[in-house]
Each structure stands twice: as C-alpha cells, then as structure tokens.
Structure 1
C-alpha cells in the first residue's frame, strides 16, 4: 500500500512480510486438479488459467494441513478458508500477479509466521458494528495525503458491509509531519465528547490548515464544549493514548501510513482493493 513513510529506521519495529517462503504441497502421484466448481475462473484466459491451476495445486491449505488448496477443496476438507483462498489466487492471477508475487502475498495472508499480534480495539474509535466478524485496524496520520485518500474508501467498505465489517482507528502521527501530533490530540479530545469521526472527517477535509490555532474553530463547528476540548487536548491522558497507539503500531511492524490490518493480517495492497479482499474474508 502506498503511504507516508517513517523518517527513521531505528524504531520502526519488526516488519511483516519477507523472510520465510511458502511451502509447496508435498509431491503426490495424483494428477493436478484442474477444475473447482466453487471457483469462477471464467475471466481467465488459457494462459492465466494454467497459472491458477499450478498455484492452487502448489500452495498449501491455509489451515495448516499438508495438502494443497485444490485438494483441500476437492476432498471437501473441513478447512473453510480453502475456497476463499482459491478465489483469492484466481483474482491475483487475473490482476496480473506473477507466480512469485502470488506466493509472497499468499504467505502474508495465510502464513503462520505473518500473523500480527498485539493490536486491540480497546477504547479506540470504532466505525461500524462492534459485533462485526471482520475488523479493520487503520494506523493513520492526519497530515499524510495517502491517509486522506484512504479514509473515504475505508468508510465505504464499512458502510456497504451490512454490519459485517468494523473499522478501528489508531493514531500514528509520523515524526516528519510536524502538525500531525496536535491533530491527533484534537481527535482524541473530540472523542471524549463523542465526536471523534466528525473531527476526523473535518481535519482531513482541511488537511492544509492543521495549524493549532484552527482547532478551536473546528471544535466549535462540530459543537464541542470548547473549554473541555482545550483541557483534553492538553492533558497527559491524551498524550498517553497516542503513545499507546504508536507502541501497538511498532509491535505490529507499522512503517508507513496508512497501515491497514484485516483481522490479524497486514493488508499490503492499495485501498481500492480492500473491498474484494474483505469479501473473501467474509466467505470463510
């Protein structure tokens, strides 16, 4: 995903991705499985379909069984992730990903070594139903132009999910953005009065005007108690909240904004690919 990068490397935390390779399914005497009725490959030409056949017969079941994705489906194994995984591979092939690229992104989504731990919803701002089965975690910076572009896409995915997707917002002001931390404080202060998303949207709409002097005007515009807003912006509790989010980001390997995680996996594509990715998650 394109984003605003951290300006330092010493504290960037562990990175997700890279390292171990996807293990292919064990060699078998059986012929490759060439058709899976549960997966629509009608958009693939003969060359692309051949790549898809190779990949679903090579890549292992996402549930850790020593069988290929294709055999997991054809033998009606218990793993509910195999059909969505095969559809995921078909989509990647259709979008022009190479075999090596497919192996890499498949591992990020399904590999045991790429699960992300330590991100919690806690008292972070939430958009959508708290009971939604799919959780999007977004680490964002209000001065980052890529975050501004991603915000409406994330909102749309939640709104069109019929209550099945929720978005949890995490503060991640980058050191190279001098106005980002004060903007983050303004949204934390607004959250204390139940107006986080209103301030969130207003700051992105006015991304070129994030001077501290403007925050009082924004607070008035969305109907906040100004004295309380000012006190909360200046409080140590607000600073601690931001630092706690940054610490979670470090642990998860955040190195740029926006960084989006879908459940326990890092989303490594552009925001416009989030909707089909989430649909695959909901198929499981």
Structure 2
C-alpha cells in the first residue's frame, strides 16, 4: 500500500447506502451537462465524448459526500445546494476518468475518498507545528527521511504552507522504515535539532540532501544552523531521541499507517496523488 500511488485498487463492496437512488438511465441530463461545461476546472474540453458520457452517468449514480439520498448530479444542478464538497467530488471523478480508470473503479475511488474516510484522532504531543493554531486545515504526515516520495511530499507541503500561511498547519511524525538503514538516525537527529528550535530548518535540509544522509550531514547542517554541536550530538544519540521517534511510529501503527508518506488532512487519510493535495485543501 502506498498513499501516493495511482495504481487501481478496487473496493470489494460499495453497499446500497453509498449510492444514490436510481441508475440515472433515461434521465434528462441537459441541465447537468450545462453546469459541467461552466466549470473550467473539470476539464471537459480535454475529455472524449465517451468520457463525458461516463462522467454524466456516474454523477447521476453516486451519492453526495453529505448524504446518501441525493446524487452528485442533484447537488450540482441545485442552486441552493448545501454540500460544498460535491463539486470537488465531480472534479475528482472527471480527473480519474481522464487518467484512464474504468467507470467501476472510478466509482469505487470516489466512494472511498468521499464516503468512507472518517476522521481519526492523532496524538500530536511532542510534534513541532508549522502554521497558526487556528488554521482551518491541519495536515499530519508520517514520513521517512530516506523515502523519495516523502521528499517530494515535503516540497509540495512546505510550498502550500508558504502560499497559505494562515490556512494550513502542518505536523510531521517520524515513521522510519526498517528498509531504510539511515532513516532512524536521521529522525533522531531531527529530534535533537527540534530541542534547539531548529526542527523545520533541519527537516528541510535533510530532504534537500537526502542522498548524503548520515552523521557527517547532520553535523554539517547543525553547524550551518548555528547549533550547539556538543549538545546536538549528545541528544542525537541519546535514548530520549530514540524513544520520541518510536513514540511517533507507534502512533502511526495505531491508526493503520503502513507506508510513507501517509498524510491526514483534518484527520482524514489522504488517498490521491500528492500533486492533488492542493485540491483536497481547497475542499476543507
């Protein structure tokens, strides 16, 4: 399992409660098509006629993220709609069709993202926040400093936070994988940097120099950041740093984290390509 993979993963069962009433067959879809054409973000101009027809059919079948009675088509064509996430679900559906997924798989993915992802409570004690306490969007990332996908995720997340400083708050949790021999030591070094108020600077430079991870890099970064090197080295190799990293990993395992990066947006597991993260944030 990998949270940034685009590989299809069919759900075993959707359940009647997850679908709107009726199949949409024979329904007049002219109003829906008109609404879709007005949304440039849907990209109808990049879709084939068959893809548009499939999109319309799915939107008349799939229930909204807000209840199990009304369909996405109902919400999109209702000027008084009270389901703000319906439009995002429609865009997600269109994007998946353009990526080549079949109708059944797209339906499964929409349901998994918008209907089955319940928020989970994550223990953030000891984690260093980036962003204001009252930010409407909180992102928690379980990450590994040797993971190349984690490096890409970090670049995107930090960019998004800088572009939306009042809107986004980020927490990172250490989740070093056994397959990465230096991941644990890198996480412990980051803990030592945190104790000197340099967590995010150290974090960013570790990813920027991912191919050089090791004690030499840790000292070089710490020196450049003006840290107390004796204190840094003592804390880096201390039992306390190992305990704090392990505490993060156990918290991830408690909520089902198995791979990196695993991202939660306001407590809901992010299940899309990392490039689509900004769309998730817009929906919050």
Asked whether the equivalents of residues 172 and 257 of structure 1 are also in contact (C-alpha less than 8 Å), the reply is yes
**TM-score for both structures, normalised by structure 1:** 0.82
Which residue among 51, 57, 60 is the counterpart of 1:48? 51
Which residue among 31, 56, 65 is the counterpart of 2:27? 31
For 2:185 and 2:99, the matched residues in 1 are separated by: 40
1:160 aligned onto 2:163: yes
Cα shift at 1:2: 5.7
Q: List aligned pairs for 1:1-284, cutoff 5 A.
A: 18-21=11-14, 23-27=18-22, 31=27, 33=29, 34-35=32-33, 37=35, 40=39, 41=42, 42-43=44-45, 44-75=47-78, 76-112=80-116, 114-161=117-164, 163-279=166-282, 281-282=283-284
Asked whether the equivalents of residues 145 and 183 of structure 2 are also in contact (C-alpha less than 8 Å), the reply is yes
For 1:198 and 1:172, the matched residues in 2 are separated by: 19
1:225–1:128 Cα change, 3 Å:
same
Asked whether the equivalents of residues 3 and 147 of structure 1 are also in contact (C-alpha less than 8 Å), the reply is no
Aligned-pair Cα RMSD in Å: 2.9
Cα shift at 1:213: 4.7
1:36–1:252 Cα change, 3 Å:
farther
Higher helix share: 2
1:96–1:131 Cα change, 3 Å:
farther
Asked whether the equivalents of residues 132 and 168 of structure 2 are also in contact (C-alpha less than 8 Å), the reply is yes
For 1:188 and 1:20, the matched residues in 2 are separated by: 43
Asked whether the equivalents of residues 116 and 266 of structure 1 are also in contact (C-alpha less than 8 Å), the reply is yes
1:131–1:101 Cα change, 3 Å:
farther
Cα shift at 1:71: 1.2
Cα shift at 1:179: 1.0
Name stretches of at least 5 consecutive residues in structure 2 with no aligned partner.
none
Q: How many pairs align?
A: 270
